[in-house]
Amino acid sequence: MTAITLADILGQARQLPLAEQARLTSILDRERALRLIELLDEWAADESGYEDETWTQLQAALDDERTRLGMRSLFNDADHSS
């Protein structure tokens, strides 16, 4: 059995008439939205405490990278103090 790749599917989709391409895009967008909602629901239900442990580290990393690029901080220093 040969595996079908995303490149194969996209190549075939490009050969469809424009109206069918638009319909396919709409279906894929809805599917992505449903998957995102499922993921967000899963995250919201997570009570492991992981985000409490890692959020300050993520804030600091984002601000450090923005500073390195000459951009303003997203968070106050107090938001990600250890």
Whose tokens are 């500073």? That residue is 67
C-beta separation of 17 from 41 below 8 A: no
Domain borders along the chain are 1-45, 49-82
> Taking 80 as the threshold, does the pLDDT of residue 80 lie above it?
no
pTM for the whole thing? 0.48
Transcribe 34-51 into DSSP letters.
HHHHHHHHHHHH--SSHH
Q: Which residues contact 81 (CB under 8 A, 6 or more apart)?
A: 56
Distance of CA 60 to CAs 20, 43, 51, 54, 68, Å? Answer: 45, 21, 14, 10, 12
Average pLDDT for the chain: 88
pLDDT (mean) for 46-68: 91
